[in-house]
């Protein structure tokens, strides 16, 4: 069964969010905060329309899109100002789950096959404002190379549904709930976007409830264990162990009361009860280091919760990623058991050398010489790998790859790229 998704729109111009395609009225000075608001309201994705006019403005918009992608845990779809394959690449590399080709522009139609083969059909959507833009030979192109259509003319959605070869994300203005229900019931409708979502984000759970009651699947969270089924401690609270969903690192221990439990499940943003303040608190509300819920489990006694989260920034108020950074006892551990930890430890040393130079350090020598020297060494080490690979001795290539990775990490530190950035990009690919 299909699941209808609800997409809020953000129109970017001069690093601000404006009203729409033809209206440059500023509605938010901080688009990142607006994106977080949409995420917290239960939107399933955000479509960002880049309205920049110059290359410089376009680069600034890409930086803003990257910041938004890093600040929320729902997919971002990048649209607007696409002229060539490179523009789609930049949107995807900024963190967008998909890039959008505007089919009112012939040059976008012409690069459909190229970008789809390069990045994958699942990474490409088409936007259109009329049936003519998605009919005929274009329909065949879309069917073969695109994952869906963002259809922007609410008046001709029905006609578009009759000819579309793929699912449609319908851009709707302010309409009645009955209209949303009727459109969502159409087989080829995969989602709803437009002002009806952006302007009513706070009521999105009500809209989802209406659709669910009428047999239309949505992303509305299903609560499988009620608060009453949990065993509470003497303070009527339940402890929550919080774990990073990507690294499995234990981040913190907190507590929930009934209000925090329900708020977490309804919003997807981790909410706790503070025993010291005797009040509910949203993790990251002050620091911006939010935690977005990915899964919540209860143990066999139903007296402890395990939350797997996407952590934005640091979990600990001290600035450490995890609250458990103070050792009490450590047995000698063979670091070879955790390859990722080796990468992180070496990279931490490199970053520390950049901040706290050490006399005689080769790493500091590279930083002092600058980017050209670092790039030269990366190139040299890459060549050494090629040469070593022709040698029958497997140890040689091991040594050269190690040298190469070290110099790559120096480059990463120089350009402020983290291992998390790299692994996230690999996971997306």
Q: How many CA atoms lie within 13 A of 374 on its CB side?
A: 20
Residues 281 and 150 placed together within one structural domain of the fold: no
Q: How far is CA 264 from CA 250, 269, 307, in A?
A: 19, 5, 10
Same domain, 50 and 146: yes
How far apart CA 326 and CA 318 sit, in angstroms, is 12
Number of domains the chain is built from: 3
What is the residue range of 370's domain? 335-428
Same domain? 256 vs 284: yes
Q: C-alpha angle with apex 383: 406 to 119, nearest 5 degrees?
A: 80
65: nearest Cα among 83, 84, 88: 88
Task: Tell me, yes or no, whether 292 and 356 share the same domain.
Answer: no
Tell me if 285 is assigned to some domain.
Answer: yes
| pLDDT tier at 393, thresholds 50, 70, 90 | confident
- Considering the domain architecture, whether residues 9 and 134 belong to the same structural domain is answered as yes
Is pLDDT at 369 greater than 90 in this prediction?
yes
CA dihedral 22, 27, 33, 39 (to 10 degrees): -60
Query: In this structure, is residue 198 part of a structural domain?
Result: yes
Specify the pLDDT at position 170: 95
Residues 74, 188 within the same domain: yes
pLDDT at 220: 76
What pLDDT, on the 0 to 100 scale, is given for residue 394? 75
In tens, the pLDDT along 12-44 reads 999 999 999 999 999 999 999 999 889 888 899
My answer on whether 62 and 159 are in the same domain is yes
Own/partner pairs for 284-291, CB < 8 Å, 24+ apart? 284/312, 284/313, 287/313, 287/314, 287/317, 288/71, 288/312, 288/313, 289/313, 289/314, 289/315, 290/36, 290/71, 291/242, 291/251, 291/315
Report the alpha-carbon distance of residue 211 to residue 182 in Å, rounded: 10
Residue 297: give its domain's CATH number: 3.10.20.810
Instruction: Name the one residue in this structure whose structure tokens are 């040059």.
Output: 107
- Lowest-pLDDT choice from 194-198, 237-241, 265-269: 265-269
Last residue of a domain, one of 173, 188, 213: 213
C-alpha distances in angstroms, 345 versus 122, 130, 191, 306, 350? 35, 54, 44, 27, 9
Return the CATH number at 54: 3.20.20.70
* pLDDT > 90: percent of the chain: 68
Kindly state whether residue 304 falls inside one of the protein's structural domains: yes
**Structural domain ending residue among the three candidates 162, 187, 213:** 213
Q: What is the pLDDT of residues 169-199, one digit of tens each?
A: 999 998 888 889 999 999 999 999 999 998 8
For the segment 285-326, what is each residue's pLDDT rounded down to a tens digit?
Answer: 888 898 989 899 999 999 999 999 989 888 998 988 899 989
Say whether both 114 and 16 belong to one domain: yes
- Pick the closest to residue 78 from 36, 142, 90 (CA basis): 90
Q: Does one domain contain both 33 and 143?
A: yes
Query: Same structural domain for residues 233 and 208?
Result: no
Please determine, for residue 123, whether its predicted confidence score (pLDDT) is greater than 80.
yes
Structure tokens at 280: 């509910």
Q: Are residues 64 and 18 in the same domain?
A: yes
277 lies in some domain: yes
Say if 250 falls within a structural domain.
yes
Q: Identify whether 218 is part of a domain.
A: no
Q: What is the chain's length?
A: 429
131 and 87 inside one domain: yes
Query: Is 387 inside a domain boundary?
Result: yes
* Residue 99: inside a domain: yes
Domain CATH number, residue 351: 1.10.287.1080
Regarding pTM above 0.85, the answer is no
- Tokens representing 220 are 């509305």
**Among 213, 246, 277, residue at a domain's last position:** 213
How far is residue 344's CA from residue 28's CA, in Å, rounded to a whole number? 37
């Amino acid at each position: 069964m299909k699941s209808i998704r609800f997409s809020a729109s953000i129109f970017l111009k001069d690093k601000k969010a404006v009203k729409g395609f033809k209206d440059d009225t500023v509605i938010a000075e901080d688009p990142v905060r607006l994106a977080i608001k949409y995420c917290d309201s239960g939107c399933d994705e955000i479509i960002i329309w880049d309205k920049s006019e110059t290359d410089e403005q376009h680069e600034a918009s890409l930086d803003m899109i990257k910041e938004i992608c890093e600040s929320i845990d729902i997919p971002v779809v990048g649209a607007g100002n696409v002229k060539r394959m490179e523009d789609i690449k930049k949107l995807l590399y900024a963190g967008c789950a998909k890039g959008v080709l505007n089919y009112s522009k012939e040059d976008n139609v012409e690069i459909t096959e190229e970008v789809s083969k390069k990045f994958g059909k699942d990474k490409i959507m088409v936007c259109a404002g009329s049936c003519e833009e998605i009919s005929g030979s274009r329909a065949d192109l879309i069917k073969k190379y695109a994952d869906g259509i963002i259809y922007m003319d609410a008046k001709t959605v029905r006609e578009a549904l009759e000819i579309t070869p793929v699912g449609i994300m319908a851009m709707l203005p302010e309409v009645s709930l009955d209209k949303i229900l009727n459109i969502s019931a159409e087989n080829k409708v995969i989602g709803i976007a437009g002002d009806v979502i952006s302007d009513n984000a706070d009521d999105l759970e009500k809209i989802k409830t209406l659709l669910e009651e009428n047999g239309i699947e949505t992303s509305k969270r299903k609560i499988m264990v009620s608060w009453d089924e949990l065993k509470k401690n003497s303070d009527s609270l339940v402890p929550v162990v919080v774990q990073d969903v990507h690294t499995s690192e234990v981040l913190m221990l907190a507590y929930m009361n009934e209000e925090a439990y329900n708020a977490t499940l309804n919003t997807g943003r981790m909410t706790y009860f503070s025993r010291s303040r005797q009040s509910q608190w949203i993790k990251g509300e002050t620091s911006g280091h939010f935690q977005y819920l990915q899964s919540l489990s209860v143990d066999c006694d139903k007296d402890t919760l395990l939350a797997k989260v996407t952590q934005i920034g640091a979990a600990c108020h001290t600035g450490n990623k995890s609250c458990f950074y103070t050792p009490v006892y450590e047995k000698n551990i063979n670091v070879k058991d955790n390859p990722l930890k080796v990468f992180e430890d070496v990279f931490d040393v490199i970053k520390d050398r950049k901040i706290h130079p050490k006399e005689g350090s080769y790493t500091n020598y590279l930083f002092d010489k600058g980017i050209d020297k670092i790039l030269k060494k990366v190139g040299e080490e890459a060549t050494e790998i090629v040469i070593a690979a022709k040698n029958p001795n497997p140890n040689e290539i091991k040594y050269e790859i190690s040298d190469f990775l070290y110099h790559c990490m120096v480059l990463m530190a120089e350009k402020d790229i983290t291992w998390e950035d790299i692994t996230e990009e690999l996971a997306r690919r």
